[in-house]
Structure 1
């Protein structure tokens, strides 16, 4: 059981994630910025074509996450269904909005296809490592992802707020709900299993970073 007053295993996931941010991205970040997407948002120069690729690849990844939890190869995935954080439907609405304004919607490209396939395989064989990706994808979008959305809206979309960055319920409440779910799922894990989950953080950043970089193409 988590200690009284602690945030449970989710706190460990959060600390592992913060360390992999750059010093420009977050307080507590330990990395030096090496790639364009690792720098402060004020230095980004997004493009519409790149942003559409990012949205399409993001939708493929969120589609995959939702399919994994619905099919539930492991009982723990049932806990992660219908949390309110799902983004696939919202992204579909946004892509319709772009299409109606004459933009050509691209097919998913290598970063999204590669990550989706990886998640499918991992979810069938290693639920502890999969949970790390689930956590980082959803929680990153609720934090830095929203800041990126605001930046792109101001620079490219005449401040249009996309559905991708809107939730049906209070976001803070939804995040706490999912944190509680993740703590419950990990409650029976051994220390070794928790460490396997935490060890996956760097890989989750690598795959998500490949998709994020599309915005700057």
Structure 2
């Protein structure tokens, strides 16, 4: 929590330096920026889901079909924007960079990869939903995108994945666990660069 600002979490210690670190209520997003964010997010989720499906490390298979997957819902949302007459952009540097980094980590550094897996899905489930709601209020006449909807009880989905993460990490050494945690700041940085696209 210390990597958040005070606006983002009570325990936050990070100083506000970037526009996306301000409280969401103070953001001035654009539809074009939001589309860049959704496209970048889709690339990252596509990459995560493909890695888990192919399982370069066998324990990744534990995280298939968790119910947290977002790629299909993002396809629906981008199709909706197309129907409204918007042009869907190509993925930009933040999404491309993060997707490539995840591919590399997934093979050579499974503990670091799991940190990103956890942070991407769990951040979207908490702050991500709040951001989606605020952006929908400002830009989409309160339309709730599929990206922010789940078909089953959401807290149970999170608990199921948390249990799997704990099971997978149980045999790790203390050094491997610490290494996983140390990757959190990098995860926040790369995710933050995609989030910043909303304000572009």
User: How would you bin the TM-score normalised by the shorter chain?
Assistant: over 0.9
Answering whether residue 120 of structure 2 is matched by residue 137 of structure 1, we say: yes
Answering whether residue 19 of structure 2 is matched by residue 40 of structure 1, we say: no
Q: Please give the per-residue CA displacement for 1:76-109, whole angstroms capped at 9, x wherever unaligned.
A: 1011111000000000000000001100000000
Q: CA deviation at 1:192?
A: 0.1
Aligned to 1:26: 9
**Inter-partner Cα distance in structure 1 for 2:57 and 2:89:** 33
Number of residues paired by the alignment?
200
Q: CA deviation at 1:180?
A: 0.3
Answering whether residue 81 of structure 2 is matched by residue 98 of structure 1, we say: yes
Answering whether residue 122 of structure 2 is matched by residue 168 of structure 1, we say: no
Answering whether residue 150 of structure 2 is matched by residue 150 of structure 1, we say: no
Contiguous gaps of at least 5 residues in structure 2: none
Answering whether residue 98 of structure 2 is matched by residue 118 of structure 1, we say: no
Aligned to 1:10: none
Answering whether residue 200 of structure 2 is matched by residue 200 of structure 1, we say: no
SS of residue matched to 1:77: helix
Q: TM-score, normalised by structure 1?
A: 0.91
RMSD: 0.5
Answering whether residue 192 of structure 2 is matched by residue 209 of structure 1, we say: yes
Aligned to 1:58: 41
Paired residues for 1:56-95 under 5 Å: 56-95=39-78
Contiguous gaps of at least 5 residues in structure 1: 1-17
Aligned to 1:185: 168
Q: Please give the per-residue CA displacement for 1:35-64, whole angstroms capped at 9, x wherever unaligned.
A: 110111111010000000000000000000
Q: Please give the per-residue CA displacement for 1:139-194, whole angstroms capped at 9, x wherever unaligned.
A: 00000000000001100000000000000111101000000000000000000000
**Inter-partner Cα distance in structure 2 for 1:128 and 1:102:** 42
SS of residue matched to 1:19: coil
**Inter-partner Cα distance in structure 1 for 2:69 and 2:31:** 24
Q: Which runs of 4+ in 1 moved over 4 A?
A: none
**Inter-partner Cα distance in structure 1 for 2:63 and 2:33:** 30
**Inter-partner Cα distance in structure 2 for 1:43 and 1:81:** 37
